[in-house]
């Protein structure tokens, strides 16, 4: 699931203030109102055209895969798949969308799906707390979030601008509670091109029967052995696996 439709982002955005975070925290911890909390922060997300190529490559690799993109990449769609018991059928699940990590309000750390035309009560943020209500039986979930920056869009599935213990572990643990065994995410910004190449190579190894840890290690070695700029750990060391 990926390449969700987000709101148009014109000029540079004014980031949430400390007051905004405090109010959002009260809404979440006092009232359990996540929709109002995200509305208070008023974060805008850029649409991600680069993720379509990533989904296309995975679709070619796994012919029987089901891909939900653009208008289908929504929280409502994810809830529907869960209610139908479809999510429990998937061995591998990939999210190619923005990720959000909130050091100020960890409960708001989430996968950011479509933000347009959501029904009442749906904010498009699948938070760590909400994952407990999902039924997964997946061996692996890969979170390919994208960090907002003033320049090019860069991959960052540390799920936000600050990577701290509680924020990074929050989502993998929530997914584990939901029934997912292992989670792969990245700890710093990675370019679109590198992310697509790395993930495609990694999943090709999984399809060939290589174990997850071995496939991840082999893919990192593959990039290292390419030489040139790819020998720099910044291009491959960010991918980490959390799980059993």
- Residue-wise pLDDT tens digits, 210-227: 999 999 999 999 999 988
User: What's the pLDDT score for residue 11?
Assistant: 53
- The answer as to whether 235 is a domain residue is no
The share of the chain scoring above pLDDT 70, in percent, equals 88
User: What's the pLDDT score for residue 14?
Assistant: 81
pLDDT-based confidence at residue 127 (cuts at 50, 70, 90):
very high
User: What's the pLDDT score for residue 46?
Assistant: 82
CA torsion 53-63-244-134 (nearest 10°) is: 80
User: What's the pLDDT score for residue 164?
Assistant: 45
User: What's the pLDDT score for residue 161?
Assistant: 41
**Cα–Cα distance for residue pair 102/105, rounded to 1 Å:** 5
- The answer as to whether 103 is a domain residue is yes
pLDDT-based confidence at residue 83 (cuts at 50, 70, 90):
very high
What H or E segment, with its residue span, contains residue 142? strand 140-144
Residue 113 · residue 145 · CB < 8 Å: no
The residue to which tokens 């989502």 are assigned = 171
- The answer as to whether 242 is a domain residue is no
Residues 6+ apart with CB under 8 A from 74: 4, 113, 114, 118, 122, 124
What tokens does 174 get?
A: 């929530």
User: What's the pLDDT score for residue 109?
Assistant: 86
Its domain, for residue 123, covers: 2-191
Can you give the pTM of this predicted structure? 0.87
Average pLDDT over residues 126-146: 90
pLDDT-based confidence at residue 12 (cuts at 50, 70, 90):
low
The residue to which tokens 């996968």 are assigned = 111
Residue 110 · residue 97 · CB < 8 Å: no
Say if residue 7's pLDDT is above 50: yes
User: What's the pLDDT score for residue 186?
Assistant: 82
What tokens does 26 get?
A: 């009260």
- The answer as to whether 137 is a domain residue is yes
- The answer as to whether 45 is a domain residue is yes
CA neighbor of 181 nearest in space, from 132, 129, 130, 138: 138
- The answer as to whether 232 is a domain residue is no
- The answer as to whether 224 is a domain residue is no
Residue 74 · residue 33 · CB < 8 Å: no
Residues 6+ apart with CB under 8 A from 181: 138, 139, 140, 243, 244
As for how many domains the chain has, the answer is 1
User: What's the pLDDT score for residue 10?
Assistant: 57
User: What's the pLDDT score for residue 169?
Assistant: 55
Distance of CA 188 to the CA centre of its chain: 13
- The answer as to whether 34 is a domain residue is yes
User: What's the pLDDT score for residue 101?
Assistant: 78
């Amino acid at each position: 699931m990926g390449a969700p439709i987000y709101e148009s982002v014109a000029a540079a955005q004014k980031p949430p203030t400390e007051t905004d975070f405090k109010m959002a925290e009260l809404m979440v911890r006092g009232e359990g109102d996540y929709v109002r909390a995200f509305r208070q922060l008023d974060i805008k997300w850029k649409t991600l055209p680069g993720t379509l190529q990533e989904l296309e490559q995975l679709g070619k690799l796994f012919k029987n895969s089901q891909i939900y993109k653009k208008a289908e990449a929504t929280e409502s769609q994810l809830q529907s798949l869960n209610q139908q018991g479809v999510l429990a059928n998937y061995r591998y699940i990939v999210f190619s969308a923005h990720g959000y990590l909130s050091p100020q309000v960890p409960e708001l750390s989430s996968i950011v799906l479509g933000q347009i035309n959501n029904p009442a009560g749906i904010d498009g943020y699948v938070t760590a707390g909400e994952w407990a209500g999902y039924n997964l039986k997946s061996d692996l979930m890969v979170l390919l979030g994208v960090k907002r920056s003033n320049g090019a869009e860069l991959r960052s599935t540390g799920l936000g601008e600050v990577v701290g213990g509680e924020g990074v572990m929050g989502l993998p643990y929530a997914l584990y509670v939901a029934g997912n065994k292992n989670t792969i995410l990245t700890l710093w910004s990675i370019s679109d091109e590198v992310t697509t190449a790395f993930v495609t190579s990694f999943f090709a190894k999984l399809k060939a029967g290589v174990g997850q840890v071995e496939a991840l290690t082999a893919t990192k070695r593959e990039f290292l052995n390419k030489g040139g700029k790819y020998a720099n750990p910044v291009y491959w060391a960010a991918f980490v696996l959390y799980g059993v």
